[in-house]
Chain A
Amino acid sequence: MKVTNRRRSTLWLIVFAVAVLAAVTVAGILLNGQAMESDFARKNLMPCLEYPFGTDWMGRDMLARTLAGLSLSIRIGLLTAAVSACIALVMGIVSAAMGRWADSVVCFCIDLVMGIPHILLVMLISIACGKGFLGVVTGVALSHWTSLARVIRGEVMQLRQAPYILAAQKLGVRRWDIVRRHMLVHLMPQFLTGLILLFPHAILHEASVTFLGFGLSSEQPAIGVILSESMRYLTTGKWWLALFPGISLVIVVLLFALLGERIRLLLDPASAQE
């Protein structure tokens, strides 16, 4: 019987997911010009060999538009997830390591952000920052750090009681050195998993805010823009305008979720046996 190593198959899945996502990102950047190009001689074409995703009412290639939109979504997702995760790391450490007062302030912020529905908060922040790229990125980044911050706060509280940290304190190691040398390394698995699991949320919320008209401006080939524009044409029977971009968004989101799950399995060997 051939023995398959689960770690290895997990690793291959991760490589596959990263490769697909990277290919989409690069393809989107390269096809950005083509996505904007309109040609009324080929408008409203059903999906065919030449245009697998069809064309829209201005004769733009939907495949190119979808790829460009996904690419934009992934780049925004990466940026916002990174900013969000960093906020979460800082907040979590401050909350757990700086004493009771800092803890209550951070917990209050977490409850405040969590108490408002995500989509509403993203919309409000986005409007306040003048919509567009900056608005979306700020909105999503400032609203998604809470749950990861809670996880990190819990981890740090546990670490603070670890004998090796207590012993280091008694040997006169300074507080900042303890955080840097003994805590950050132990927080990495939670941080990385949290970071990657933030992507799907960030991407979906970017798309929904843009769809609702409070995000990216309509000349940009973003998935949210594509979906909201095609809504008007759905009733006239042009199903391909929304179907393919929608499905590919779902696939990208699922790929990121899979990536996060698999990386958790790799970094935390105990959970690999579940």
Chain B
Amino acid sequence: MTLQANHVTFTYRGRHGAPVLQNIDLTIESGERVGLKAPSGRGKTTLCRLLAGYERPQSGQVLLDGQPVYGRKGVCPVQMMWQHPETVVDPLLRLGVTLEESGPVDRRLMEALHIEDGWLERFPAELSGGELQRFCLARALNPATRFLLCDEISAMLDLVTQAQIWNFLIGEAERRNLGLLIVSHSDSLLEQVCTRIETLPA
């Protein structure tokens, strides 16, 4: 499968005449691990939101095997991991409910990510940032997921936990032939993990 951004331009509403992204091209094939780096404010997160279909490009297209990603029904094969996991889970629901609503969860994933059964009885505020990030990872690795966009997912974790998460993700991506887009400011991380590194033009 191919996830492709074709000449994508995007402006947030209310920001008159100042596009966040202009004429961007990016292609990710299944099995690839593409690193994305750029200074703050250059539109890395916005590009992820476009690729995952949260936003409609102003001009240009985001295509998954030739089909537009924006407006797809059902589980989107392109899933995004957000930088702040606490915003992505409903604060008033127990984690078990949140996890189940997107379909049954693979036991193997739960064990590999060290997610304890007890967590599922808890509310998001009762987990640490790292624990919650692992929980979100398990949820984003839906059976239907083909591409995973990781927007600074390990910035707030200690090095040991970072290493665990990336080792797990590389293994999982190879096993399921997932395409990964990895956004990070850390050059060493990108060199270790990625098969290819892209930079957003100014």
Chain A: residues with CB nearer than 8 A to chain B? Answer: 162-168, 170-173, 177, 181-182, 185-186
Contacts and interface: CB of A to CB of B under 8 A. Distances in A.
Given A162-B87, A163-B87, A171-B142, A181 B93 contact: yes
Given A164-B88, A171-B139, A172-B75, A181 B54 contact: no
A159 B77 CA distance: 24
Given A170-B52, A170-B53, A171-B79, 18 more contacts: A163-B82, A163-B84, A163-B87, A164-B87, A164-B88, A164-B90, A164-B91, A167-B88, A170-B54, A170-B76, A171-B103, A172-B75, A172-B76, A172-B103, A173-B101, A181-B93, A181-B101, A186-B92
Contacts of B76: 170-172
Interface in B83-121: 84, 87-93, 97, 101-103
B21 interface: no
B74 interface: yes
Chain B interface, DSSP helix/strand/loop, else mixed: loop
Contacts of B91: 164
Contacts of A167: 80, 82, 88-89
Query: Size class of B's contact patch?
Result: 20 to 34
Nearest to A162: B87
Contacts of A177: 101
9 contacts: A163-B88, A164-B87, A164-B89, A164-B91, A173-B101, A181-B90, A181-B97, A182-B90, A186-B92
Contacts of A163: 82, 84, 87-88
A177 B97 CA distance: 12
Contacts of A181: 90, 93, 97, 101
Nearest to B101: A173
A197 B74 CA distance: 40
A138 to B, nearest CB: 35
Contacts of B52: 170
Residue in A164, A167, A168 with the greatest tally of chain B CB atoms within 10 Å:
A167
In the complex, the 6 A-B pairs of residues with the closest C-beta atoms, listed nearest first: A172-B75, A171-B102, A163-B87, A170-B76, A172-B74, A167-B88
A121 B132 CA distance: 52
